[in-house]
Amino acid sequence: MTFRLLPEWAEQDAIMLTWPHKDTDWADILDDVEPVYVTLCQQISQVQKVVIVAHNDDVKNHITQQLIQADVDLMQVQFALANCDDTWARDHGPLTCANEQGELAIKDFIFNGWGNKFDASMDNAINAQVVKQLAAPKAQYHPLNFVLEGGGVEINEHGTLLATRECLLNPNRNPDYSQLEIEQLLQKELGVKDFLWVDHGYLAGDDTDSHIDTLVRFAPNNTLVYVECDDEQDEHFSALSAMAAQLQSFTTAQGEPYRLVALPWPKAICDKDGYRLPATYANYLILNKTVLVPVYADENDAQALAQIQLAYPDRTVIGINCTPIIHQFGSLHCITMQLPRGFLK
């Protein structure tokens, strides 16, 4: 009875958020960041539930007041109490698989702060609490002794997994595993049938060792949505051009080329110290009826929304200003994790 990781566009119960608080790295810009989270709750709660991981009861009460002020339907919100180091739900959150009977297996991989760059011991314990407090009893829970972040993998409806070698094969994750052994484990645990390994592409300011969800995304019907840099003077031009060429060479299990949808390149955004921040339109979030896309008050925002609409014609595409989020070196997809239909009690 094979369990397979579900593509993001599979039917969902909820989106999980881990809320920023004063004891995280967001402390100095909390007043700028929390409104983005509230906006996300407003959008998500219109089409499905929101699961919010709150650091403690005080944080939960604070969040509740903000949601009430923003007219968010609290019937659409569920809380899980769990201490957290940070807020990157995509990477510490659960990866959920399903079999042909619709039964779920919740896979809880190790999150080690992107190769032990940051302390993540509390974040690594969040999934067990979410499952204990909110998950349906019939959903299987599988803790795994293997490091893997959700932002490091993309999968489509055919069981093809997309990842960068720079991330998944990095010795700061699973140093005792060869590429073959990693592939075998992902075949066993996530039901992967085929692999597409990306050899090029990165984002300045990114701590993740080139997570795929900042560069290339799967869409239904053998479609790849990817970032394209057209500025020859930009430091990303060479790597992203090489990535685009590799994507053109990829074929499906049937030997057909993928349909490619290119996203524009936002202008450089830097922090107050002049360091470039990882702005990318590829870090969008798929919901049951909508796609939420990070925008940055950039002249290319509208084109990005239009291109993503081509990839998801059956969903409404909505821009969310994520400029505050990239000041902590991630974007919209990085702070969210989908929980598929049947996950919640």
pLDDT digits (tens, 9 = 90+) for 65-117: 999 999 999 999 999 999 999 999 999 999 999 999 999 999 999 999 999 99
Tokens of 159: 């069981």
CB 4 within 8 A of CB 159: yes
Structure confidence at residue 33 as a pLDDT band (50, 70, 90):
very high
Give how far Cα 4 sits from Cα of 10, 100, 193, 201, 213, Å. Answer: 12, 9, 9, 27, 19
Please determine, for residue 246, whether its predicted confidence score (pLDDT) is greater than 90.
Answer: yes
In the structure, what pLDDT confidence band is assigned to residue 1 with cuts at 50, 70 and 90?
A: low
Average per-residue pLDDT in the chain?
A: 97
Between 3.30.365.10, 3.75.10.10, 3.30.1490.20, 3.20.20.105, what CATH number should domain 4-340 receive? 3.75.10.10
pLDDT, one tens digit per residue, over 148-198 is 999 999 999 999 999 999 999 999 999 999 999 999 999 999 999 999 999
Beta bridge partners, 270, equal: 276
Question: Smallest Cα–Cα separation from 29: which of 333, 322, 332?
Answer: 322
- Nearest Cα to Cα of residue 290 among 262, 320, 263, 264: 320
Rounded-to-integer distance, Cα 154 and Cα 148, Å: 12
| Residue 260: strand, helix, or coil | strand
* Helix, strand, coil percent values for the chain (each to nearest 5): 30, 25, 45
In terms of pTM, does the model score above 0.85?
yes
- For the stretch 280-297, pLDDT in tens is 999 999 999 999 999 999
Q: Roughly what angle, to the nearest 10 degrees, separates helices 57-69 and 30-44?
A: 70
Q: What is the largest CA-CA distance in the chain?
A: 55
Q: Strand, helix or coil at 179?
A: helix
Is the CB of residue 208 less than 8 Å from the CB of residue 214? yes
Number of Cβ atoms within 10 Å of the Cβ of 272: 6
